[in-house]
Amino acid sequence: MYKLCSRVLEREAGILAAVEESQKQVRNAVVKREWTGFEALLAMIDRAAAELEGLEEERKALFSRLPGFSAGHDHETGFYRFIASLPFDEQKKLTAQYRELKMAALRIRINNENLLTYIAGIKVTMSAFIESAFPDRKGRLYSRSGTVIRQDMRCMVLNRSL
C-alpha cells in the first residue's frame, strides 16, 4: 500500500505542477491582454482538476481499506493513520510528499486569489474611467442598438490593435 500511495501522491504533485504552470500563463495572458489560446489554458486546468478529483478518490479508497477505518474519517486523518503503520523511512518519504502536495495546492489557491484581486481592481478602475470619461451617461453603458447594458461590467473587450 505504501507504493500505491506514493505513486498517487507523485501523480497528484505532477498535475499540480502543470496547473501551476498553466496558472502562470493565464496570469500573464490577463496582464498582457493576450487572449489567443486563453480558453485552451482554462480547459487544461479544468481537465487537471477532474484528474485530481479522480486521484483523490483513489487515495480515499486506499485509506478505506485500512483496518478500523470508517466512512466518517476524512482523508487527511486516513493519511496520517495510514503512515503511522509504516516503517520510519517510508513515513518520512510519504509525509514529505504529502507536505509538498499541500504546499502546491496552497500556492495555487494564493495565485488564484491574487489574480481575482487584480481583475477586481481592473474592473473598478475601468468603471471609474468610463464614468469620468462619459459623465453624461452617469455610469451607464449602451449597446450598439442603444439599449442600456447592465452596469456590472463582468466582461469587456477593448480593441488594442491599432
> What residues pair up with 148 in beta bridges, in sequence order?
142
Any domain includes 157: no
Under 8 Å CB-to-CB from 128, ≥6 apart: which residues? none
Q: How many folded domains does the chain comprise? A: 1
Q: What is the CATH number of the domain that holds 121?
A: 1.20.58
Any domain includes 102: yes
pLDDT of residue 157: 61
pLDDT of residue 137: 59
pLDDT of residue 12: 93
pLDDT of residue 71: 58
pLDDT of residue 21: 92
pLDDT of residue 147: 80
Any domain includes 149: no
Strands in the chain per DSSP E: 141-142, 148-149
Any domain includes 152: no
**Which regions of the chain are under pLDDT 50?**
none
Any domain includes 151: no
Helix (H, G, I), strand (E, B) or coil at 142: strand
Any domain includes 39: yes
- The range of the structural domain enclosing residue 27 comes to 2-133
pTM: 0.70
